Amino acid sequence: MEAWKSVEGASLGALTCIAALAGIGLVTAVSGAAPGEAWLALARHGLFLALGVGGFFIAFSISTDFARRIVIPVMVGLFLLLCLMLTTGLGKNANGATRWIQLGPLSLQPSILFQCLWPIALASWASRDPLRLRDWRQILKLCVIFFIMILPVLLQPDLGSVVILIFVSGVTFFFAGTPPRFLAIMIPALAVVIFVAALAFPHVAARLTWLDEPHEQVQAGMQAFHLGGVTGLGPGNGILKYGKIPEGQTDFVLAMVAEEWGLLGSLAVWFLFVAFTFFGFRAARQAASRYGVILMGSATVMISFQAAYNMAMVTSLMPVKGLPLPFVSRGGSSILALSLLLGVAIKACSTAPNRRPDVTELFA
């Protein structure tokens, strides 16, 4: 592929870290499978990774200008889909939340696609006119549009995705050069969202008391860390994987890694995310355009923050939320969304602007 010739070493370093994390996730899925289900686990997790690889190459193959033109129409379509999920029987309810659409044997969580689309839209908005970053009316207008877009996500409810999007938005504004006094509004906005969610949804309020009453998943996860010790029990030798760690293949996959690979395995996962963050920011600094700088920085923060929160959640440092460990947890929606985002971001890093992009005027 001709476009690969323009990809810098830092971008390749970031992709290498992601590939290693995906490999750890695949091995963990197989070793943590119930007896007789190893091949099924391999096929299912392998399918999710194949979707991610395909999504990355599709996103990388399209032009940067085209990605910027279609992101707003796609976001509007996603918003309408989420509204239909809440008001019709289209959405599948599980664990008190309506987040999934059943597609044959697979379940898709459409709201996660905002993790791909919103950074692209925000980076495009911020890079078009740097002066609007110092106009509080423009920022307020953008924030109103943002909260309208994510309202169906909050009503599902999916507070975790909302918190990530708000945090990443603040960091994106910082990368773009927004004055700190404007960024200060992100903190009360986040506090208001959490407060309203706690009032509206009892399970959100219950999870905010994690320090007083540790969640059962956290207790099981900490037991896995204890049993694994330094070197772990060995691949396939874990004893808590047979249903004793709820969501052990998804949100609490790090506990599975800790039990079978020990502290060394957990540190390897942590090191790979730290290395990815380093390479991601370095790639952003080397980007050929302002848009590439902002988008690659946002994509790096999107993945790194979600990983940091997941690891803090498993070790009882943060409340339990439905957030997978990027590229390690089993979950096709998350892998696909983040792969698409990386594809667009890395392409933007290696694409020099040759004309003023024809972007939709929705945010203008």
pLDDT recorded at residue 273: 96
Taking every pair of Cα atoms in the chain, the longest distance, rounded to a whole number of angstroms, is 61
Q: Express each pLDDT in 206-215 by its tens digit.
A: 555 544 455 6
Max mean pLDDT among 59-63, 88-92, 143-147 falls in 59-63
pLDDT recorded at residue 144: 85
Q: Is residue 33 part of a domain?
A: yes
- DSSP secondary structure letters along 21-77: HHHHHHHHHHHTSPTT-HHHHHHHHHHHHHHHHHHHHHHHHS-HHHHHHHHHHHHHH
pLDDT band at residue 268 under the 50/70/90 scheme = very high
Amino acid at 242: Y
pLDDT recorded at residue 251: 77
Q: Express each pLDDT in 303-327 by its tens digit.
A: 999 999 989 888 877 777 778 899 9
pLDDT band at residue 19 under the 50/70/90 scheme = very high
Q: Write down the mean pLDDT value for the chain.
A: 80
- Regarding predicted confidence, which is higher, 200 or 338? 338
Rg (CA), the chain: 20
Q: What are phi and psi of 60, to 5 degrees?
A: -70, -25
Q: Is residue 354 part of a domain?
A: no
Assess whether pLDDT exceeds 70 at residue 115.
yes
Low-confidence winner among 143-147, 220-224, 237-241, 301-305 (lowest mean pLDDT): 237-241
Q: What are phi and psi of 208, to 5 degrees?
A: -75, -10
Report the C-alpha gap between 190 and 195 in whole angstroms: 9
Average pLDDT for 173-187:
75
Average pLDDT for 113-120:
90
Q: Is residue 41 part of a domain?
A: yes
| Residue 200: DSSP 8-state | H
Q: Is residue 95 part of a domain?
A: yes
Average pLDDT for 20-46:
85
Assess whether pLDDT exceeds 60 at residue 49.
yes
Q: What percent of the chain has pLDDT over 70?
A: 78
Q: Give me the domain span that covers residue 308.
A: 2-349
What's the structural domain count of the chain? 1
pLDDT recorded at residue 104: 66
Assess whether pLDDT exceeds 60 at residue 166.
yes
Average pLDDT for 103-132:
83
Average pLDDT for 111-131:
87
Report the C-alpha gap between 78 and 208 in whole angstroms: 29
pLDDT recorded at residue 361: 44
- Regarding predicted confidence, which is higher, 154 or 280? 280
- Residue by residue, what is the 3-state secondary structure of 89-121? CCCEEECCEEEEEEECCEEECHHHHHHHHHHHH
pLDDT recorded at residue 236: 75
Distance in angstroms between the alpha carbons of the first and the last residue of the chain: 35
pLDDT recorded at residue 58: 94
Q: Is residue 357 part of a domain?
A: no
Q: Is residue 363 part of a domain?
A: no
pLDDT band at residue 364 under the 50/70/90 scheme = very low
